[in-house]
Structure 1
Amino acid sequence: MLYLSDVVRFRSTALIGLLVVACTGMVQAQDSSEPTVQFNRDVKQILAKKCFACHGPAEQESSLRLDERESAVAEADSGMIAIVPGNVGESELIRRITSHDEFEKMPPEGEGVKPEELAILKTWIEEGAQFQGHWAFEPVTDPPLPETKHEGWVNNPIDQFILSRLEEQGLEPNARASKRTLIRRAYYNLTGLPPTKQEIEAFENDSSPDAWKNLIEKLLASEHYGEKWGRHWLDLVRFAETNSYERDGVKPNAWKYRDYVIRSFNENKPYDLFIVEQLAGDEIENPTPESITATGYYKLGVWDDEPADPLLHEFDQYDDIISTTSKTFLGVTIGCARCHDHKIDPISQENYYQFLSFFRGMKPYGNRGDVSFSQREISSSEVVSAHENHRREREAIENRMNEIVSAAIEQLPQDERKDVKRQRDPNRRRERMDDRIAELVPNEASEYAELKRQLDAVNDKEKYLPAREFALAVNKADKTPRETMIMLRGNAHVPGDVVVPGFPKYFNDPNPEIPEPASGQETSGRRLVLAKWIASEDNLMTARVMVNRIWQYQFGRGLVRTSSNFGQLGTPPTHPELLDWLTQEFIRSGWDIKHMQRLMMLTSAYQMSSEGSEKGLAQDPANDQFWRFNSRRLTAEEVRDSILLVNGRLNEKMYGHGFYPKISAEVMAGQSKPGDGWGNSTYQEQARRAVYIHVKRSLVTPILSSFDFPETDAPCEDRFVTTQPAQALGMINGDFANQQATELARRVRETGATTLEDQIGHAVLFVMAREVNDEDVKIGTSLFNDLKNDHGMDDQRAFDLYCLMLINLNEFFFLD
């Protein structure tokens, strides 16, 4: 968000800066100051939202295009000039925006330009209306490290970029947070679980200079790390285990993709390999069960098993893949160009269908009753061989039996023989003729009886064979895909020109050469070409987008707030040089995600307090400059998992089939068939971490839904953080919260504590991981007595509700 104070902030510049401006042909500001308003940072967002729909890349009414300087400062069809650099009064753009004539006022529809936005536009024109190319479509720079005054605050280059900006703005970074705050921050950000009192005290008492670094290393090595950071990725790829629509049928083996993601983060798999495995794990040179499972990425979207228009639905599935892939990996909205050229970004409709053609040979999820396109065997060669040998042995016996049965059928009277032959299934024929073999072909009877015994023995052996394993994955893809054509207005029934695989034009990369598939190759290899291009260090977007996501999940918001839209409708980076430095460092590290997290967490910026300061709140209330750390509420999964941890019930079992929490009949009633597709897990299984909950699109677990679990039909770049009545109602009246509060009270009683004060002390110790204080005892005793005296509760019920109160406190729910 931009504040008006930004508009009037002036900074001096070196003479060389002015020379660069002059050499690029831009109009200089009327004084020697560097412009306080920048096109990319401040102006483009306003024009993109208010003007580009009619005067942007896709439409140029009156021949006016406001995203390019040449057109913006030229005479339009009306004879007027929209922007006259240095002269606000002569600029038709400003006159139209401020006009009170409904036939002249711009924009003609929707919300007008706000006063603070108008001030930005005026200042920009006064200072020369300097244009810039869109920052994200320019090559990544390798910026020099800025100089800072307070060098003692700098732990690594990240701090230099943060501190330099703060000093420039006259802001002071916050002091270091307490050790208790830091360990809670680190545990939740890396594992999604709180530290125990013993872990907090051990860290507080560790005075070694490497105490913080050692804590980070410990948490990065924790198996719980993958459960927390894997869940971030699952948000981005719209992970769910069912298909949506009315039946919302299960996606068999979808949980294996979830496990693949968790393991990948725990193993610190290089991000470029992580990309390639998901986009083309079946097309790499030596596919593995792991890389095959990774392609389940393509099969996670919604699927209609009885579409009214099957061809349209096929292209809807392609559109889902295009939108998810472009947003998640590239931070651009290619999906907006399905029906026409992108209205804002330089992405044509042709680019959209060129991108689609990389996926064209891949079969859709399935057909009703047959999802074999999405189930692929990943058994070991030994298991496959054992089952194949068993199949051959069974078929040899069955074939000989069928020969005897056929001979017997020929001995039947003609009418009966015709009737039997109508049965096409050989197994059914054998069943029908079983008792008549001795009668019709007596010479074959003994052999037939022996074959039956052999068949029974072979079938009996089947249950001792090692289990075959399948994964949700790409299973069918054409070696020679059908032609891809531009669908006019996005209509799958109106094909236009043929296109070949290609990349959006702003990447300035030529169309790729797709190698001719080898004789033994099963697919076209197109997706592997795409995957390698996306995972290339030369790609403009990939590394930038991922380091921004890592920053977002560590600091609470990205350097680019719109982390899946780096296009012209997205927000520009608050620290562009830092973003480029992080991008280069990520690539230099070998795409090492844990390295980047370690680097970020070791900064003074990460270790700052979240407390407010009068000057900081007045000058930068949104914390754009990172003068303090952003506090946050626990995520939905963290709320649930933390409750289970503090009451002693958390089941740390990892991986495997998802489990089914108990859901009330009232919530189940919202389904078309209440309870359909929802299992009944044991009480112990229901205490596993929330990342293993079975994700059913039509039946999201209530406590997760209340606390902003993401929509599963589309990628989620950043979860909402809402405050709404269902949260309080669920945490006070809900079955889960009340049951777990009772379990917490039981845990306290099992310590042997008998007095109320001791019980309160143990409860606070478990929930808050600290010693009880006098205020805790006072509040707890007062509540306990009120519940007994005013509401007639016995000691047990009163203490159960005291425990319920504890897990509802802000101290438990929020991180500083």
Structure 2
Amino acid sequence: MAAVLLVWPAGLSGAAGSQPVDFVREIRPILAERCYSCHGGESQEGGLRLDVRRRALAGGDGGRVIVPGEPGESPLIDRIARVEPDAAMPPDGEGEPLSTEQVELFRRWIEQGAEWPEDAAEVEQSNHWAFQPIERPEMPVIDGEPAVHPVDAFVRERLRREGIAPSEEADRATLLRRLSFDLLGLPPSPDEVEAFLSDDDPLAYERLVDRLLASPHYGERWAKHWLDLARYADTDGYSGERYRPWAWRWRHWVIDALNADMPFDRFTIEQLAGDLLPEATVEQRVATGFHRNYLHTREMDADAEEFRVRKIVDCVNVTGAVWMGLTFGCAECHSHKFDPITQREYYGLYAFFNSTEEVDIPAPLEGVDVMLSPSAPAPVEKATGGDEAGGEGAAGEPETVHAQTLSELEEPRATHVHLRGNFLAKGPAVEPHTPAVLPPLEFPGDRPSRVDLAGWLVSADHPLTSRVAVNRVWQHLFGRGLVRTENDFGTQGTPPTHPELLDWLAVEFRATGWSQKELLRLIVTSATYRQSSALRPELVERDPDNRLLARQNRLRHEAEVLRDAALSSADLIDLRIGGPSFRPAVPPDAGAVVSTQWKPEPGPDQYRRGLYIVVQRTIPLPYLMTFDAPDGNAFCTRRQRSNTPTQALTLLNGPEFLDCCRSVGRRLVDHGDSERDRLRRAFLLTLGRLPAEEEVDELKRFIAEQEKLLNRGPELAAEIAGVDSVNDQAGIQEIALWTCVARVLMNTDEFITRE
């Protein structure tokens, strides 16, 4: 199901209708998300501007749209309620319609006089919630309940106020599968399912959490989340892109750091400034590859300075989004229209990165050598301005692993404001500094460095970093963050649904030494996380988008996780950790460009985890794009989740998925002769649970129908089983039959969804 970003409407409880509507907290976020793109500062279609009170009340070319106190006379209500399709707002195809609750919120706001404080912008900028210091709030006391888990205390207090009961706990098989996918990105094995279902120890779930967090596959799962943020790719991008043979070395560092539970403050400092640390180790220098993930051009006629500037701009924008959840890019050409970030402050951050240079260094890993292909550049330890071809090592010979890193120039470059974002139009000179709305940057010496910037981001008084980090973790466990606009904590973003919980978690994250594993353990052991995802009838009416967290969310698997699940069910998956990326095979009908330029490597790498698939920016693997994976051209804070016919056809007919179904079919045939035992095993292999009796009966009827079809001729059975010979007709027919069973189960919504 596509992820739709909505704001939390008022009116979730019956008593809400008499409460005053807060423009800043409730109305403006909806306007910002749904209306400003066409009726804001940049564009005023129909002469209507809705981001300034005076202009909004004046109306547009067709007259007034808001009449304070008179919702029935305000055309805005009819338009957002879509009374007349031709005048509906947002127009069809340009955004999700407003929900009934949101329309009612606007109606009440206008009825109450359309109060719109003239100083709303000032209030939102200087006193905006995200810029305020973080303090640990008092945990609510739930009457009549024993000591409550901290997460549950905040969630249940909110539910109590709204008169909504939490959902009951999910069944044990669902909990195991949910936890395994969330922490490892892999399904549990049949043995793990049966062991957990038979374990009646009251602490069995907690022990399961500890075991999964200790797995080396944990680092792989959570590294993929971080790679999305870092715009990781294995190629340069642009039209003349080339392969980056050592990009994976930074990915390997991320996996190791997460498995070791490196504190997030250290994780931050090493990636932004590892090269500047005293006596920096090779691994600390490798960590700076975070900002070598930007696009790079090798075109002969490219303006070197222009593309260098583009890279530094990218560093600023990514740093601002990943660590602070702010849209710094809006201040590159002019001061931010909505957030308190001036253009001068933007280039103050730019100055921290302006004196970096690209350096490729030897970064060997025990037992890992790479054979260079004839087209692969062999880097040397010197500033290259990129991965220039030539250097030590010859094509086709074993080459010591290298890493793409950053280093600092001995003499810093001068930094100027770029007037209107044009690097050739130099404005006033600026020194490295941070936005005034945030706590001051403290540093020794005359000039702050990237180490100082990184330390400032994770300082005790920084209001954004820990909030943004815990919100992102929450998003991966629930599908949506406590702040729905995870990429915008500024004034145009949505406020947190549970602000006290967000701040409590942010303080706790820092108090436990910035340990992500401790944060995850805290959240996944809560009753809130362990709830069933079933949509109860009363929740459909009261809280259809689950803003109050009265249930878990059902989440469609990401592209890599879905592939890994199929390979795991088939017992084909190669679980080696780390090392270079690989190119899996593509269907022959994938397209001329893909088939000629996407060259799959033969051998066992074909079944490695999806994390290790080459991310090729200009010609990405079609499968990854079909299932909404990012292409590495820009940072991605949240993947979109779609549900398309192309996805269904890929799951049904894609060669790799068919191979997995055939492998599952063979495993079922080898399991024994009992049809019931095979069906039981089929459910354990694919869905991680035992079948219900009615499911067994349904599949028995399906098997009988398939047997009739397969009896029509050996060729059909051979095609389904994936064999050329039809000599062993009975054996091939049996494999084909159970391949069909596997195909049914692996195309269910349950298989492709985390419940």
Q: Structure 2: where are the runs of 5+ without partners?
A: 1-5, 59-63, 80-86, 92-96, 366-391, 718-732
Offset from partner CA, 1:187-231 (integer Å, 9 cap, x none): 111111111232222222222221111111111111111111111
Residues 283 and 735 (structure 1), Cα distance of their counterparts in 2 relative to 1, 3 Å cut: same
Matched, 1:766 2:705: no
SS in 2 for 1:248: coil
Distance 2:657 2:176 in 1: 26
Q: Distance in 2 between matches of 1:656 and 1:544?
A: 33
CA shift, 1:652, in A, is 1.3
Q: 1:146 aligns with which of 120, 137, 140?
A: 140
Q: Aligned AA for 1:807?
A: M
Q: Within 2, Cα distance between the matches of 1:635 and 1:501?
A: 39
The yes-or-no answer on 1:42 pairing with 2:30 is no
Q: Say if 2:360 is the partner of 1:360.
A: no
SS in 1 for 2:403: strand
Query: Which residue number corresponds to residue 345 of structure 2?
Result: 351
Letter matched to residue 557 of structure 1:
R
Report the secondary structure of 1:670's partner residue.
helix
Q: Does the 8 Å CA contact 1:7/1:120 hold for their aligned counterparts?
A: no
| Distance apart, 1:298 and its partner CA | 0.8
Tell me if structure 2 keeps the 8 A contact 1:254–1:471.
yes
Could you tell me which residue of structure 1 aligns to residue 634 of structure 2? 714
| Distance in 1 of aligned mates of 2:632 and 2:311 | 15
Pair 1:6-2:3 in alignment = no
Of residues 81, 96, 106, the one that matches 1:118 is: 106
Are the structure 2 counterparts of residues 90 and 258 from structure 1 closer, same or farther at C-alpha, using a change threshold of 3 Å? same
Q: How many angstroms does 1:469 deviate by?
A: 4.1
Are residue 661 (structure 1) and residue 584 (structure 2) matched?
yes
SS of 2:240's equivalent in the other structure is coil
Q: Say if 1:38 and 1:124, in contact at 8 Å, map to a contact too.
A: no
2:728 is the counterpart of 1:806? no
CA contact (8 A) 1:155 1:602 kept: no
Tell me, yes or no, if the aligned pair for 2:441 and 2:456 is still in contact at 8 Å: no
Q: CA deviation at 1:312?
A: 2.6
What is the letter of the counterpart of residue 813 of structure 1?
I
Query: For 1:312, which of 306, 311, 318 is the aligned residue?
Result: 306
Find 1:528's aligned residue among 443, 451, 458.
451
Among candidates 116, 129, 138, match of residue 135 of structure 1: 129
Contact 1:514 1:526 survives alignment (8 Å): no
- Paired position in structure 2 for 1:636: 559
Match of residue 410 from structure 2: 479
Structure 1 residue 39: Cα displacement = 4.0
> Alignment length, in residue pairs?
672
Aligned pairs (5 A) from 1:207-606: 207-306=200-299, 308-363=302-357, 373-378=358-363, 468-475=400-407, 477-507=408-438, 509-510=439-440, 513=443, 515=445, 526-606=449-529
Contact map agreement 1:377 1:468 (CA 8 A) in 2: yes
Deviations 1:15-56 (A, max 9, x none): xxxxxxxxxxxxxxxxxx8x5433443023145458879999
Following superposition of structure 1 onto structure 2, how do residues 98-117 of structure 1 map, counting pairs within 5 Å? 115-116=103-104
Pairing 1:39-188 to 2, within 5 Å after superposition = 39-48=23-32, 88-89=68-69, 115-116=103-104, 118-119=106-107, 121-122=109-110, 125=113, 133=124, 134-149=128-143, 151-152=145-146, 155-188=148-181
| 1:375-415 Cα shifts (integer Å, max 9, x gaps) | 123469xxxxxxxxxxxxxxxxxxxxxxxxxxxxxxxxxxx
Separation of aligned partners in 2, 1:468 and 1:637 = 29
Gaps of 5+ in 1: 13-32, 77-81, 101-107, 364-372, 381-458, 518-524
Letter in 2 for 1:119: R
C-alpha spacing 1:487/1:555, structure 2 compared with 1 (3 Å): same
The separation in 2 between residues aligned to 1:469 and 1:183, in whole angstroms, is: 38
Matched, 1:650 2:578: no
Q: Tell me the amino acid that sits aligned with residue 810 of structure 1.
A: D
Shift of 1:779: 4.0
Aligned counterparts of 2:42 and 2:621: Cα–Cα separation in 1: 43
Distance 1:742 1:56 in 2: 55
Query: Which residue of the partner structure matches residue 700 of structure 2?
Result: 778
Match of 2:601 among 667, 680, 689: 680
Rounded Cα–Cα distance in structure 2 between residues aligned with 1:487 and 1:110: 37
- 2:657 aligns with 737
**For the Cα contact (< 8 Å) 1:7–1:37, is it kept in 2?**
no
TM-score (normalised: structure 2): 0.81
* SS of structure 2 residue aligned to 1:720: coil
Instruction: Give the TM-score of the pair, scaled to structure 1.
Output: 0.75
Contact conserved, 1:6 with 1:36, CA < 8 A, in 2?
no
Partners of 2:601 and 2:398 in 1: CA distance: 27
Percent identity between the two aligned chains: 34
Q: Deviations over 1:654-691 (max 9, x none)?
A: 111112211234336225xx544635130x22111111
Structure 2 counterpart of 1:621: 544
Post-superposition shift, 1:243? 0.8
* Cα distance in structure 1, aligned partners of 2:676 and 2:114: 69
Q: List per-residue Cα deviations over 1:555-594 (Å, max 9, x = no partner).
A: 2210001112111222111001111111111111111111
Any conservation in 2 of the 1:7–1:36 contact (CA below 8 Å)?
no
Whole-Å separation in 2 of the counterparts to 1:54 and 1:759: 58
Question: For 1:463-521, what per-residue CA distance to the aligned partner results, in whole angstroms no more than 9, with x for missing partners?
Answer: 9x99744211114x3122221111111111111111111112321x446556358xxxx
Letter aligned with residue 781 of structure 1: I
Q: Supply the distance in 2 between the matched residues of 1:761 and 1:585 (Cα, whole angstroms).
A: 44
Distance 1:658 1:53 in 2: 39
CA 560–689 in structure 1, closer or farther in 2 if over 3 Å, else same: same
> Is contact 1:362-1:478 (8 Å) kept?
yes
2:194 to 193, 197, 201: 201
Deviation at 1:142, TM superposition (A): 2.2
SS at match of 1:473: strand
Q: CA deviation at 1:595?
A: 0.9
Letter in 2 for 1:506: V
Q: d(CA) in 1 for partners of 2:112 and 2:13? A: 11
Cα offset for 1:704? 2.6
Query: Aligned to 1:474, what secondary structure does the other structure show?
Result: strand
- CA 128–164 in structure 1, closer or farther in 2 if over 3 Å, else same: farther
- C-alpha displacement at 1:620, in angstroms? 0.5
Q: Do the aligned partners of residues 677 and 644 (structure 1) sit closer, same or farther apart at CA in structure 2, a change above 3 Å counting? A: closer
RMSD, aligned CA: 3.8
Q: 1:48 to 1:698 in 2, by over 3 A?
A: closer
Q: Which amino acid aligns with 1:210?
A: L
- Structure 1 Cα separation of the partners of residues 566 and 651 of structure 2: 11
User: Conserved in 1, the CA contact under 8 Å of 2:271 and 2:284?
Assistant: yes
Judge conservation of contact 1:485–1:496 (CA < 8 Å) in 2: yes
Matched to 2:542, the amino acid is: Q
Offset from partner CA, 1:114-140 (integer Å, 9 cap, x none): 744632532665779696542112222
SS at match of 2:565: helix
Structure 2 CA distance, aligned partners of 1:95 and 1:762?
Answer: 62
Structure 1 distance, partners of 2:576, 2:363, is: 23
Question: Is the aligned partner of 1:727 residue 2:732?
Answer: no
